Chains A and B, each alone.
Chain A
Amino acid sequence: MVCLQVELKKQVQEKRIKIMKKTNMMLITVAALFTFAGCTQTPDAGGKITYSKTPKEVYDASCVKCHAADGSGVPEKKAPALNDRQAAELELDLYDVKNGGLNQSSGTEHDIMEHNMKKLIDKGFDYDPKAMAEFLEKSFFKKAE
């Protein structure tokens, strides 16, 4: 009787160890896979979007109305200058405008332009933020005097 109990206890113990080992092995493997995951992803992973107009076409037909022909902005229209920053910084702002913020719940500092951008996209004035930022830098950026 005692012997049987010991045997039973042993079996339970073994089963526990088995489950523990299984969990451990899996967790370690998961951690390893997770570590190396995402290395090969590119920003286009979600499928490429094609745009009907080039950044220049969008700028000349729409942005120019408020941000001026030289990108210097129009204060009365609350449109800031776009000629004082380089592509990487501009891209961040354009990203913020198009996505309504850069963070989970921080919101956007471009509330009005976020609204306007949605309307402009409906009218066919969509653009790739990176391509637009590069166009703006190339066309307007002034080196510090």
Chain B
Amino acid sequence: MSKEQDINKMVDMVGEELKKHGVSRRDAMKMAAVGSTAFLMGSGTEAEAATEARASAATGKILIVGGGLSGMATAAKLTNTLSNPDITVLEPTETATSYQPGQTLVGGGLWTGDDVTYKTDDFVPSGVTLIKEKAVEFDPDNNTVTTSGGKTLKYDFLVIAAGLKLDFSKIEGLGISETITTRGDDSAVRNVIGQNGLASIYFGNGAVDTWKEMQKFVADAKSGKKVKGLFTHPNTPVKCGGAPKKIMYLTDARLREAGAAARANADLTFYPNGSKMFGVAEYHNAIQKQFEARDMKWNYRHNLIKVDPEKKIATFNRHWKQKGAWDEDLEEYGVDMKSKEVEVEYDFMHITPPMIAAEEIAKSPVGSGKGWVPVNKETLQHVKFDNVFALGDIAAVPMGKTGGSARKQYAVLVDNLISRMEGKELTAKYAGYTVCPLITSIGTVMLAEFNWTKKPTPSFPLDPTQERYIWWLLKVYALKPMTQYGMLAGRA
């Protein structure tokens, strides 16, 4: 479908949708003219009712650990809702509130690092106290948190939105022994990742360096050299499960831009630990077809365990199932797991690092065996402490580590936290909604929306498995202002 057709079709459809919401197209035009911000805040539409905060006179000292997207949006919505808010946010990193979903675009050379870097200070809602320290000890039985600066903070209600840590140290040979966060001090990693063909968009500066390395790779291919690009996906949960593939699609697009010969000289292969492109069958099938159409290859069941940055060799643990012995209990043949090490040479390798919960949380009473903060996945309330809630990357919620899920979670969490403060039953429920705007080329995106039913749950009556220009516009032009003015203001 051409861009123009795509837009016309969408305009008609939007008109229909608006009619259903009782808004005429002329009204919509007027609202659009007022500006996207005003429109997003709702101007006499159903939207207003949906975002109208319920005022609450409930009181209590609320401590939010983490000032990223989830934590700050939660602080903002609580500020909007409570008539006497008493909120403290603990966040040591100056740029924690940055727009991480844009890092793929930075890695692909479409945005710059500055486009996605926000100062935490600019997003602290008025009245909220920001302490630039880290939480290092949790004592939920006594309702206290100890900070890196030695303060003991007492709370009535705790929200954990601490995000996760990137653990490159699990990969042998890189010489990295420390974990890092997406934003903040990355010196332990940046002198290895972002050099010599190794790249990772999973941290801020890493995304900037990815573009440098990708350009070298493309230039080599253009000059006639036969080159190999590898793209990994580890065996841990990761934030934005689509990004390891998005950066591969963008590499493919940049090579094609450099010419058919350049593309023909490059061999691109995806090496995920799992055996699927996507947990939702419809999207899995669509992605495999897109890969085939672009001559992008894949090798399932390969987990990156070792890198030799000098010789440019990656070692994977390849693992597979084999028919096992007869199992009396199962009354079937069982399976045995087999594995072996496989070495692969590369010229460019995008590493998606293993991701973990910060140790001080994982091993504390609010953590769990796997580290993530165990919450009821629908109410986001902690399983053991009823005045503790968690959301975002740190929460043990299936498929939940995306900006799109955080955008749904924070509204549910605030609703339930206020109910808890008022001594009422928790009624708001998160249904697992998440969205992956899968960038498939420069100018196309497949908007993969889904929830725990593992079925596509499209917001629009369009085939969700198609790559479209309109979703590219949404990803590149609309989602950032939506986050900045809607979510971080606690409005949408």
Per the bound structure, the CA–CA distance linking A104 and B398 in Å amounts to 11
Give chain B residues whose Cβ lies under 8 Å from the Cβ of A86: 374, 383-384
Per the bound structure, the CA–CA distance linking A102 and B477 in Å amounts to 30
Cβ contact within 8 Å between B459 and A37: yes
Give chain A residues whose Cβ lies under 8 Å from the Cβ of B374: 85-86, 88-89, 92
Per the bound structure, the CA–CA distance linking A55 and B419 in Å amounts to 31
Cβ contact within 8 Å between B334 and A106: no
Per the bound structure, the CA–CA distance linking A87 and B398 in Å amounts to 14
Give chain A residues whose Cβ lies under 8 Å from the Cβ of B174: none
Q: Mark B248-275, 1 if CB is under 8 A from A, else 0.
A: 0000000000000000000000101111
- A88-B477 contact, Cβ under 8 Å, with A29-B32, A33-B460, A107-B273: no
Q: Mark B115-148, 1 if CB is under 8 A from A, else 0.
A: 0000000000000000000000000000000000
Q: Which residue of A lies closest to B232 (CB)?
A: A105
**Is B330 in the interface zone, CB < 8 Å from A?**
yes
- A106-B233 contact, Cβ under 8 Å, with A38-B408, A46-B453: yes
From B47, B241, B378, give the contact of A35 (CB < 8 A). Answer: B47
Scan residues 470-492 of chain B and give those whose CB is less than 8 A from a CB of chain A. Answer: 470, 473-474, 477-479, 481-482, 486, 492
Scan residues 1-54 of chain B and give those whose CB is less than 8 A from a CB of chain A. Answer: 4, 7, 10-11, 14, 17-18, 28-29, 31-32, 36, 39-40, 45-47, 50-51
Q: Mark A96-121, 1 if CB is under 8 A from B, else 0.
A: 10011111111111011001100110
From B241, B274, B383, B436, give the contact of A89 (CB < 8 A). Answer: B383
Q: Which residue of A lies closest to B40 (CB)?
A: A32
Per the bound structure, the CA–CA distance linking A80 and B61 in Å amounts to 40
Cβ contact within 8 Å between B235 and A88: no
Cβ contact within 8 Å between B399 and A85: no
Cβ contact within 8 Å between A35 and B330: no
- A36-B46 contact, Cβ under 8 Å, with A89-B396, A105-B277: yes
Interface residue tally on A, bucketed by range: 35 or more
Number of B positions contacting A (CB below 8 A): 89
- A103-B238 contact, Cβ under 8 Å, with A29-B32, A31-B482, A35-B486: yes
**Partner-contacting stretch, out of B68-76, B201-209, B218-226, B425-433:** B425-433
Shortest CB–CB separation between residue B93 and chain A, in angstroms?
Answer: 25
Cβ contact within 8 Å between B11 and A26: yes
Give chain A residues whose Cβ lies under 8 Å from the Cβ of B241: 103-106
Cβ contact within 8 Å between A46 and B455: yes
Classify the interface of chain A: helix, strand, loop or mixed. Answer: helix
Cβ contact within 8 Å between B235 and A25: no
- A88-B50 contact, Cβ under 8 Å, with A28-B39, A34-B474, A45-B451: no
Cβ contact within 8 Å between B235 and A107: yes
Per the bound structure, the CA–CA distance linking A91 and B204 in Å amounts to 34
Q: Which residue of A lies closest to B241 (CB)?
A: A104
Give chain B residues whose Cβ lies under 8 Å from the Cβ of A65: 329
Cβ contact within 8 Å between B398 and A92: yes
Cβ contact within 8 Å between A99 and B279: yes
Per the bound structure, the CA–CA distance linking A63 and B102 in Å amounts to 45
Cβ contact within 8 Å between A30 and B478: yes
Give chain A residues whose Cβ lies under 8 Å from the Cβ of B151: none
Q: Mark A1-42, 1 if CB is under 8 A from B, else 0.
A: 000000000000000000100111111111111111111011
Q: Mark B446-460, 1 if CB is under 8 A from A, else 0.
A: 000101111101011
Per the bound structure, the CA–CA distance linking A112 and B337 in Å amounts to 8
Shortest CB–CB separation between residue B245 and chain A, in angstroms?
Answer: 8
Give chain B residues whose Cβ lies under 8 Å from the Cβ of A37: 459-460
Shortest CB–CB separation between residue B427 and chain A, in angstroms?
Answer: 13
Cβ contact within 8 Å between A103 and B274: yes
Q: Give 5 nearest A-B pairs by CB, closest first.
A: A107-B274, A37-B459, A46-B453, A104-B241, A105-B272
**What would 25 A/B residue contacts be, using CB atoms closer than 8 Å?**
A22-B7, A25-B28, A26-B10, A26-B470, A27-B478, A28-B31, A29-B17, A31-B482, A34-B482, A35-B492, A36-B46, A39-B50, A65-B329, A66-B329, A89-B368, A95-B452, A100-B274, A100-B275, A103-B401, A105-B244, A106-B236, A107-B273, A107-B301, A111-B335, A115-B321
11 more contacts with CB within 8 A, not counting A77-B329, A103-B238, A106-B238, are A30-B474, A32-B39, A37-B459, A39-B50, A89-B374, A103-B274, A104-B241, A104-B242, A104-B277, A104-B279, A112-B335
Residue numbers of B with Cβ under 8 A of A are: 4, 7, 10-11, 14, 17-18, 28-29, 31-32, 36, 39-40, 45-47, 50-51, 233-238, 241-242, 244-245, 270, 272-279, 301, 303, 319, 321, 327, 329-332, 334-335, 337, 368-369, 374-378, 383-384, 396-399, 401, 408, 429, 431-433, 436, 449, 451-455, 457, 459-460, 470, 473-474, 477-479, 481-482, 486, 492
